[in-house]
Structure 1
Amino acid sequence: MTIVRFEPIAEEHLPEVLSIYNHYVEHTTVSFHTETLSLEQMRAQIMNVPAHYKSYVIVEEPFHETESALSLSASSTSSIAGYILMTQHKNKQAYDVTAEVTVYLKPGQTGRGLGGKSLSFLEQAGIESGFHVLIATVCTENVNSIALFERYGYEKCAHFREVGYKFGRRLDIASYQKIIG
């Protein structure tokens, strides 16, 4: 069994975050980048944002039960299972009450409930940061992400046809929103 916690992304997390993201760039239509990012590009996207927009790594730590209480294992090592973002929706002041949310799980980590825990955490962080609306923009081929957002009460509010081109295919995106505050 593991404990899942969310930790603000720091410089030491960037290489693993970059590796996770570049996997999606190279192998999926989850990201619309067609070329992998460098560490400097990832740093600029995640670290240089206004303070009320947040980025976190999803950390899993093994635990065991002791005689007195549930505690973290002294010999355990934590591992990053993915990362989550709450970013600027649009660069105009009236949109400051809205954030875009994104969940990137490390390959092999899907289907374990981490997406739902991540969305719940992002929604609480969004409320604490004063956001009114959260938006997720998803390639329509990504049916697992669409199902996740719908399961957590996000409603489809837009569909843009053939706005992306990757792997020789024209791709649609859809936006989902949830009013949280």
Structure 2
Amino acid sequence: MNNLAFVTYEEQYLDQVRQTYNYYVANTTVSFDLELCSREGMRQLIEPVSPLYRSFVILWDGQYAGYVLMTQHKKKAAFQVTAEITIYLDQAFTGRGIGKAAVPFLEQLARESGIHSLVAAICSENEGSLKLFGKQGYVQCAHYREVAYKFDRWLDLICLQKILR
């Protein structure tokens, strides 16, 4: 694999992160958003709500390739032992094994932060992500049927989980 790096998100990457996310909003069911994200909206999505959660930009040979998030799963205090993880890749960098490297990176970060359980919430149409997480030991813990409506069709949400040891 080429030189892959995960660097802490900084404001200088905001427009690239927003462009990546908005591609998925406009063209796929990967995101359940219906409207393109503004700069301020993206800032709110990517900037962690506490030091427990983190956001990283993915660099491939020094070039922006996407971003990963470890975010709050639920707002109640008892849920601080669980985080949700998300991976968004720039279209030019899909299919290169970056996701396969990103998941263990996030898991290690979670362990270092005292996180016990990780959750990935994925549209049932996103077969690539479902396979990626399945191969990394995540198991389906929920299947919410027809909970979203986008592109004139009902969408299911599948949640996968991994208990970290």
TM over 0.5: yes
Q: Which has the larger radius of gyration?
A: 1
* Corresponding residue to 1:144 among 94, 105, 128: 128
TM-score (norm 2): 0.98
Instruction: Tell me the number of residue pairs that the alignment of Structure 1 and Structure 2 aligns.
Output: 165
Which whole-Å CA distance do the structure 2 matches of 1:14 and 1:8 have between them? 12
Corresponding residue of 2:137: 153
- Report the structure, 1 or 2, having the larger helix content: 2
Q: Which sections of structure 1, spanning at least 5 residues, go unmatched?
A: 62-77
* Corresponding residue to 1:82 among 54, 58, 66: 66
* Corresponding residue to 1:119 among 100, 103, 114: 103
Which whole-Å CA distance do the structure 2 matches of 1:150 and 1:19 have between them? 28
Shift of 1:2: 2.3
Moved more, 24-33 or 41-50: 41-50
What SS does the aligned partner of 2:91 have? coil
Contact 2:48–2:54 (8 Å) recurs in 1? no
**RMSD of aligned alpha carbons:** 0.9
Summarize deviations over 1:90-144 as a string: whole Å, max 9, x none: 0000100000000001113222110010001000000001000000000000000
Q: Which sections of structure 2, spanning at least 5 residues, go unmatched?
A: none
Query: Are positions 1:135 and 2:151 aligned together?
Result: no
Give the percent of matched residue pairs that are identical in Structure 1 and Structure 2: 49
TM-score (norm 1): 0.89
Corresponding residue of 2:92: 108
In structure 2, give the amino acid aligned to 1:150: G
Summarize deviations over 1:1-24 as a string: whole Å, max 9, x none: 620010011000110000000000
Flag as ranges the 4+ runs of structure 1 deviating above 6 A: none
Which whole-Å CA distance do the structure 2 matches of 1:4 and 1:109 have between them? 11
